Homo-oligomer: A and B are copies of this chain.
Amino acid sequence: MRDFSGLAQILIPQDKDKINLKTALCDLPPESVIRVKGTVRLRPDGQENKEMPTGEIEVLAESVEILNVCRKLPFEIKDFVKKSESLRMQYRYLDLRSSQMQYNLRLRSQLVMKMREYLCNVHGFVDVETPTLFKRTPGGAKEFVVPSREPGRFYSLPQSPQQFKQLLMVAGIDRYFQLARCYRDEGSKPDRQPEFTQVDIEMSFVDQAGIRGLIEGLVQYSWPVEKDPVSTPFPCITYEKAMKDYGVDKPDTRFAMKLMDISKTFHNTEIEFLKDALNQPGGCIQAICIPDGAKHLTGKDQESLKQTARTKFGQEVSVVLVKADGALKSPLNRLMPASAKQQLLQMAQARPGDLLLISAGTQECVRPLLGKLRLQCAELLEGSGVAVRDPSAFHFLWVVDFPLFLPKEEDPDQLESAHHPFTAPLPEDAHLLYSLPHKVRGQHYDLVLNGCEIGGGSIRIHKASDQQHVLETILKEDPSLLSHLLEALDSGAPPHGGIALGLDRFLSIIVGAPSIRDVIAFPKSFRGHDLMSRAPDFISEDELKSYHIAVNWPAGDKGNQEK
């Protein structure tokens, strides 16, 4: 007999007058629901099961009531039975009976409860619910729309309560938090969900250190007791340093293999492509060193690394093996003087048997490329049995001093917000906002765990004039769409800042789940479908009438409606 807490052995008495119990139970399909009354007793000597938490006892049944009979199920409820993802989703109510999913959902509940205790009871935060039927954000292309009963008017499901949390600061709710449901219509992206939950926090009269300290305490307080405790403060590095060492703004610091600039080695090189790379503005040559890479990475592995460089970055990468005698197994070997080779091995801290991945080009291209290959190498090494990252380790990291604006991809003369237009500049860069905005660093901070961004926030602009300048002059957006926020900032807004943690992602890392779907009770498929109820679904034209909308069927598609 099983409930959520585990199994218990039921003993059917062999007495003749209990024969009915035997008949009832033995004919019952698995997963049927029963109520047993009986006596808990120690199992007879030698019949204990040390593998089971309840292995020392059994229940001597006196009566049995069959509460519900189970049909034949599409799969067995056994942890070792592997099911396809789509079958799991279609019968989610069966999938959730697995001990792993029970653990995930129950841990989620407990962790969230601890977070609430910390914020509400320990730190006096006010839990405020904000609307999800809201107005479209300027440029909010990823927001679902909800038609209203007024022709042409739509609500929008917000991607975050950003505006509301700032308005609450203006409203004198000086410490706000909410477990906020957020929506993002991103079509089919791997491991994204159209609705997700963030731990949303905002405070008045706070600085970056204040928010960071609060969150470190929050994580520590809510951390599962069965895991090793988290130590604080979390390390904190700048965006520049993260890009320099790891080639990415969310570094996985559970392993080294950092990026190294080896430009100096090739200062006077005659090798054409390296020379060209160094001569361009921002040009550099960088490397990562894979310890014992020669042994652990096959030729196929090395080819897949080159393939990544080509397809994702349009770049070549040189894979260089360090031989026992310090020579390089590479076309570079004969083109480099011995002193340069010596310097290279020294700078890259490479030893015989290591593999070097070398890339040349602009810093903006080389860093992300090597950052990506660094992670791919870790996976490849782990695939061949090398312990690169401790699966029980949790490396938290703050990344700070992000640029406030980035050049737009489609028009590099234009600037766009690196995160969002409400982030305040660093105080020491504030004067540049009106002269050299592209040089301004923002008071933004990201919380990274094991190489995943699990949260981000900022100190906000609290002066209407600065906010207006950012929106209108720098970002060239129509400030009238945010007039209510600008008016609010002009109505006695305190300095304020906050953060949002991605709860689903955070939990999936804690429980070691491959996907956020494993910490969500009823997730959507990657195409955004609920495979259990078959949502989204067709609805009648009649039902759309009150919303004054009609479906634009693509040519030849209308017939599918009846599917």
Does A434 sit at the interface, judged by CB under 8 A? Answer: no
Does A500 sit at the interface, judged by CB under 8 A? Answer: no
Q: A120-B109, A127-B109 are in contact. Are A154 and B68 (CB under 8 A)?
A: no
**A67 to B3 CA separation, bound complex (whole angstroms):** 58
Q: A492 to chain B: which residues have CB within 8 Å?
A: 31-33, 68, 70, 73
Q: Say yes or no: B130 contacts A521, CB within 8 Å.
A: yes
Q: A341 to chain B: which residues have CB within 8 Å?
A: none
- How close is A164's CB to chain B, nearest CB, in angstroms? 6
Q: A549 to chain B: which residues have CB within 8 Å?
A: 147, 549-552
Does A428 sit at the interface, judged by CB under 8 A? Answer: no
Does A388 sit at the interface, judged by CB under 8 A? Answer: no
When C-beta atoms are compared, the residue in chain B nearest to A71 turns out to be: B490
Q: Say yes or no: B131 contacts A105, CB within 8 Å.
A: no
Assign chain A's interface to a size class: 35 or more
Q: Say yes or no: B105 contacts A173, CB within 8 Å.
A: yes
Q: Say yes or no: A553 contacts B71, CB within 8 Å.
A: no
Does A505 sit at the interface, judged by CB under 8 A? Answer: no
Within 8 A of B (CB), among A86-117: 91-97, 102, 105-106, 108-110, 112-113, 116-117
Q: Say yes or no: B120 contacts A174, CB within 8 Å.
A: no
Of the listed stretches A132-140, A248-256, A268-276, A299-307, chain B binds: A132-140
Within 8 A of B (CB), among A499-551: 520-522, 524, 528, 530, 532-539, 543-545, 547-551
Q: Say yes or no: A94 contacts B135, CB within 8 Å.
A: no
When C-beta atoms are compared, the residue in chain B nearest to A195 turns out to be: B133
Within 8 A of B (CB), among A478-494: 484, 487-494
Q: A552 to chain B: which residues have CB within 8 Å?
A: 151, 545, 548-550
Contact of A152 among B35, B110, B534, B551 (CB under 8 A): B551
Q: Say yes or no: A539 contacts B154, CB within 8 Å.
A: yes
Q: A96-B173, A551-B548 are in contact. Are A135 and B33 (CB under 8 A)?
A: no
Q: A116-B113, A547-B145 are in contact. Are A153 and B68 (CB under 8 A)?
A: no
Q: Say yes or no: A3 contacts B174, CB within 8 Å.
A: yes
Q: Say yes or no: A133 contacts B535, CB within 8 Å.
A: yes
**A549 to B548 CA separation, bound complex (whole angstroms):** 10
**A385 to B152 CA separation, bound complex (whole angstroms):** 49
Within 8 A of B (CB), among A264-322: none
Q: Say yes or no: A521 contacts B168, CB within 8 Å.
A: yes
Q: Say yes or no: A172 contacts B97, CB within 8 Å.
A: yes
- How close is A24's CB to chain B, nearest CB, in angstroms? 16
Does A23 sit at the interface, judged by CB under 8 A? Answer: no
Q: A93-B167, A164-B522, A493-B68 are in contact. Are A126 and B155 (CB under 8 A)?
A: no
Does A171 sit at the interface, judged by CB under 8 A? Answer: yes
Q: A145-B146, A164-B522 are in contact. Are A133 and B194 (CB under 8 A)?
A: yes
Q: Say yes or no: B153 contacts A536, CB within 8 Å.
A: yes
**A169 to B112 CA separation, bound complex (whole angstroms):** 21
Does A54 sit at the interface, judged by CB under 8 A? Answer: no
Does A462 sit at the interface, judged by CB under 8 A? Answer: yes
Q: A146-B146, A147-B145, A168-B96 are in contact. Are A533 and B135 (CB under 8 A)?
A: yes
Q: A109 to chain B: which residues have CB within 8 Å?
A: 120, 125-128
Does A367 sit at the interface, judged by CB under 8 A? Answer: no
**A127 to B116 CA separation, bound complex (whole angstroms):** 12
Q: A58 to chain B: which residues have CB within 8 Å?
A: none
Q: A522 to chain B: which residues have CB within 8 Å?
A: 130-131, 164, 167
Q: Say yes or no: B172 contacts A533, CB within 8 Å.
A: no
Q: Looking at A129, A154, A544, A548, which has the most chain B CB atoms within 10 Å of its CB? A: A129
Q: A183 to chain B: which residues have CB within 8 Å?
A: 133
Q: Say yes or no: B550 contacts A73, CB within 8 Å.
A: no
Other A-B contacts than A71-B490, A112-B127, A144-B155, 8 sampled, CB-CB below 8 A, are A92-B171, A93-B167, A105-B173, A135-B534, A150-B536, A152-B551, A163-B533, A550-B552
**What 3 pairs between A and B have smallest CB-CB spacing?**
A96-B171, A135-B535, A70-B492
A to B CB contacts below 8 Å, 21 in the list: A67-B462, A68-B463, A68-B492, A68-B493, A93-B488, A93-B491, A96-B171, A105-B126, A113-B116, A129-B197, A132-B132, A133-B183, A133-B536, A147-B549, A153-B536, A155-B535, A155-B536, A181-B181, A484-B532, A548-B551, A550-B550
